[in-house]
């Protein structure tokens, strides 16, 4: 399997999953619940952006042409 940038983005999203869950296990003295929610939201938005970018980069030109016909 070739390793390219879209595959790297996919692995990056997979690596963020434990961080997203683990942010809520940090003691409240370090981050408040509001700060934890903001960090988790930023991680989620970043993962959503890389998902879009992954799909955009992984698609070839022919699939765009076929989809635009409909």
pLDDT tens, residue by residue, 39-69: 999 999 999 999 988 888 777 644 454 445 4
**How many whole angstroms separate alpha carbon 54 and alpha carbon 39?**
22
CA–CA gap between residue 38 and residue 25 (Å, rounded) = 15
Q: pTM of the prediction? A: 0.74
Question: Any idea where the domains of the chain sit in the sequence?
Answer: 5-69
**Higher-pLDDT residue of 28, 55:** 28
**Which of 23, 19, 45 has the alpha carbon at shortest distance from 34?**
23
The average confidence (pLDDT) of the chain is 83
Average pLDDT over residues 19-34: 93
Average pLDDT of 3-16? Answer: 86
Looking at the predicted structure, is the pLDDT value of residue 21 above 80?
Answer: yes
């Amino acid at each position: 399997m070739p390793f390219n940038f879209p595959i790297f983005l996919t692995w990056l999203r997979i690596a963020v999953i434990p961080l997203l869950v683990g942010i809520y296990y940090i003691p409240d003295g370090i981050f408040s619940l509001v700060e934890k929610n903001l960090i988790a939201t930023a991680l989620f938005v970043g993962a959503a952006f890389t998902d879009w970018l992954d799909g955009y980069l992984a698609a070839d030109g022919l699939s765009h042409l076929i989809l635009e016909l409909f």
